[in-house]
Structure formats: structure tokens, C-alpha cells
Amino acid sequence: MVLVKVYRISSTSDPETGRPGRIVELVEVRRHGEKPGALTEEALMLQRLMQGVFLQMQSMGLLPHMREVIIPKMTLFLTEEEYEMLNVKLEVNYVYELQFKDGKITFIPA
């Protein structure tokens, strides 16, 4: 299971048939602070201290604010008919659980 967010939806037309379609760009969503492995109490305390220092420096204008990291996951090129058959309302900034099982891709609203 992977969390994905609809990053961009663009209109397009099929170059061979000229039929209208959509390009749907999905990006991976990672929760802040998600790191593999367990942290010791000392490491957790140090992490919180450093986050506080960075936030203070950002509020003083000494460091730029961190932008969201965009990790491209999947791009769908769909005709309007294929989009309707997908039977999922994909809207920008909506978050879905993307599941791969038995040769199928499933979008579950998160």
C-alpha cells in the first residue's frame, strides 16, 4: 500500500485518434518524520531539539522554509472513456491508498 496524492490533471488529445483525454499525475505522500527503524530516547530528544532550532531560524528569516518534497509515483494517460471506466473521481490534492493486488491497481480514498 502506498499513499498517493493527485498532483496535476491536464487535458490532452490522443495523437492518433484526436479523442479528448486526461493526464493524471500522482505523487507519493510521505508522513513527516517517517523513518525506518525505532529511535532511541536520546535520538528522539535530539531530533525534537533540532526541529525547534530550525523552526526558530526559519521564523527569524535565517533559513528558507522547507518545501514539500514531490516524489513522482505514477502518470496516467487516459481517454475520457477510460477515465469514466476507472470509476474513481480523481481531483487535485485528493489522497488515495494505491494498492497492487492480483494484477489489479485499486484506488481507495484515504
Q: Is residue 41 part of a domain?
A: no
- Quote the pLDDT of residue 12: 93
**What confidence score (pLDDT) does residue 37 get?**
61
**Beta strands at 20-28 and 71-79: parallel, antiparallel or unpaired:** antiparallel
Instruction: Take residue 31 and report the three cell numbers written for it.
Output: 508522513
Q: Write out pLDDT tens, residues 41-53.
A: 888 889 889 989 9
pLDDT < 50 positions in the chain: none
The torsion region of residue 96 among left (phi > 0), alpha (psi -120 to 50) and beta comes to: beta
Count of structural domains, the chain: 1
pTM of the model: 0.66
The answer to whether residue 38 sits within a structural domain is no
> Residue 102: which domain range?
2-31+46-109
- 40: in domain: no
**Helix segments in the chain, DSSP class H:** 41-59, 80-86
Please give the grid coordinates belonging to residue 15: 495523437
Single out the residue of 83, 106, 107 nearest to residue 96, CA to CA. 107
Tell me whether residue 39 is in a domain.
no
